[in-house]
Amino acid sequence: MDISFIINELAEDRENYFNAIAPPIMQTSNFAFNKVDEMRSAFADEYSTFIYSRGRNPTLHILQKKLAALDAAEDCLVFNSGAAAIFASVLANVKSGDHIVSVNKPYGWAQHMFDKILPRFGITTTYIDGRSIENFERAILPHTKLIYLESPNSWDFALQDLAAVAELAKAEGIITICDNSYCTALYQQPVVLGIDLSLQSATKYIGGHSDVVAGVLSGSAEMIHRIFSSEYLNIGSGIQPFNAWLLLRGLRTLPMRLERISRSTITVIDYLKQQPLVEEVIFPFDPEFPQHELAKEQMRGACGLVTFVMRADTAEQIEAFCEKLKHILIAISWGGHESLIVPRCASMHREQFDASNKEHRMLRLYVGLEEPEYIIQDLDQAFRADSNQ
Ligand SMILES: *Cc1c(COP(=O)(O)O)cnc(C)c1O
């Protein structure tokens, strides 16, 4: 399906709302029936119609159709956060006694679920370096039910060969889930590569304006229907109509925002690479990236997240650099209009900082929609201030 068609037309039913160009925000909790028998058949399958907005809602319906089409998946669910999409997708596919294989250092709240919540129900997780398929083969046990992937990882951008993992998992009857937040469906389609469920934090690029928290989960119609009728309705963290509308609005400009950000990121990387205080730049589409070939093969783009390793002896030096930035904000998340930076040392005590550990000197930069020169000038004045100390 054409991306322009999906974004501008698919599932929009304008005659039903006064030919308004922008779809209405159906801010209602419930829907009425004319006949009790209609209500009865609605109860039999809540996914077949509109009953109550914890389940389905017309504004959300338009969004679901578009997001599933962008993922080239049969269907999708939209949650009130990416974390809820992770929780529901995992919970729907494991039971007591099962085993999960996850890539190392998945998104923090996925890891929290694997380490803190699931063990209470006898579900164990083995973490592996997902860069080699042999590690998956070795980690699979007779009771492995789920393989959890995140490609690229949102810090070091480690990739998994999604088609190869999907093939292995299918042969073993194991469900695969991939966190696709880094790329979005525009730059990578895990479902097309054979992954069962693809999820993303829509808070990032889809929302695109740092004003909504949301998550998407895409997969087969059968799987999505099953999750809707159970975990989705039970957890009750489906997206609210106004937030669904904000995501629809974000979608209109998604391709051009990603294009602009991708271009600016290359310009910023060129600058970072010749900056003496930068030891290394990590970016999946950089020819020096160890998995560059795989990145080019399974991803169409790499967008605006880039990690660099700063030459520094102390955490204070890195902190001073961040605090000297005038426009780039010190904040988590990404995908909005504004450039952001997160130093790795913010997630540890200063005493734990070890300059000989490259990871401790990592900073993750998100390149936003500003002019690339504006971002570079900001970085440059902060680096200069640091070298003048
Ligand atoms: C932000 C993020 C999430 C969680 O999404 P929320 O919308 O914040 O709940 C999941 N995975 C990755 C890689 C993320 O960056």
Ligand 1 centroid–CA 303 distance in Å is 16
Using the predicted structure, report yes or no on whether residue 387 has a pLDDT greater than 70.
no
75, with CB counted inside 10 A (0-12, 13-18, 19+), is: buried
- The length of the chain is 389
Task: Output the pLDDT for position 225.
Answer: 97
Taking only the tens place, the pLDDT of each residue in 329-375 is 999 999 999 999 999 999 999 999 999 999 999 999 999 999 999 99
Residue nearest to atom 2 of ligand 1 (CA): 201
pLDDT at 155: 87
If you average pLDDT over every residue of the chain, what do you get?
Answer: 97
pTM of the model: 0.97
Residue 389 has pLDDT above 70, yes or no: no
CB 187 within 8 A of CB 193: no
The number of folded domains in the chain is 2
Q: How far apart are CA 125 and CA 127, in angstroms?
A: 6
Q: Is 110 in the pocket of ligand 1 (CB under 6 A)?
A: no
Are 260 and 215 in the same domain? no
Looking at the structure, tell me whether residues 141 and 202 fall in a common domain. yes
Is pLDDT at 149 greater than 70 in this prediction? yes
Distances (CA, A) of 126 to 30, 44, 52: 43, 39, 39
Q: Tell me, yes or no, whether 230 and 270 share the same domain.
A: no
- Range of the structural domain that residue 345 is part of: 254-387
The answer on 283 and 242 residing in a single domain is no
Q: Is the pLDDT of residue 388 over 60?
A: no
Integer Cα distance of 279 and 234 in angstroms:
48
Q: Are 207 and 266 part of one and the same domain? A: no
Please report the pLDDT score of residue 386 as a whole number: 61
**3-state secondary structure labels for all residues of 284-298:** CCCCCCCCHHHHHHH
Q: How many other C-beta atoms lie within 10 A of the C-beta of residue 266?
A: 15
List pLDDT tens digits, range 55-104: 999 999 999 999 999 999 999 999 999 999 999 999 999 999 999 999 99
Q: What is the pLDDT of residue 154?
A: 87
Same domain membership, residue 78 and residue 222 = yes
Angle at Cα 349 formed by Cα 346 and Cα 355, nearest 5°?
80
Could you tell me the two tokens for 85? 């999409």
How far apart are the two ends of the chain, measured CA to CA in Å?
56
E strands, the chain, are 75-79, 99-103, 124-128, 144-150, 175-179, 197-201, 215-219, 278-282, 305-310, 329-330, 340-343, 362-366
User: Looking at the structure, do residues 246 and 364 belong to the same domain, yes or no?
Assistant: no
Each residue's pLDDT tens digit, 243-272 = 999 999 999 999 999 999 999 999 999 999
Measured in angstroms, how far is the CA atom of residue 302 from the centroid of ligand 1?
17
State the distance from the centre of ligand 1 to the C-alpha of 269, rounded, in angstroms: 24
Are 170 and 208 found together in one domain?
yes
Regarding whether 217 and 282 lie in a shared domain, the answer is no
In ligand 1, the atom with minimum distance to the C-alpha of 204 is 1
**Pocket lining: 201 vs ligand 1, CB cutoff 6 Å:** yes
| C-alpha 219 to ligand 1 mean position (Å) | 18
CATH number reported for the structural domain that contains residue 319 in this entry: 3.90.1150.10
The rounded distance, in Å, linking the Cα atoms of 245 and 4 is 18
Q: Supply the CATH number for residue 41's domain.
A: 3.40.640.10
Show the tokens assigned to 46: 């809540």
CB of 215 shorter than 6 A to ligand 1: yes
Report in angstroms the alpha-carbon separations of 7 from 3, 65, 93, 110, 199. 6, 10, 31, 30, 19
Domain boundary among 252, 272, 297: 252
Given this model, what pLDDT does residue 51 score? 97
Same-domain check for residues 248 and 271: no
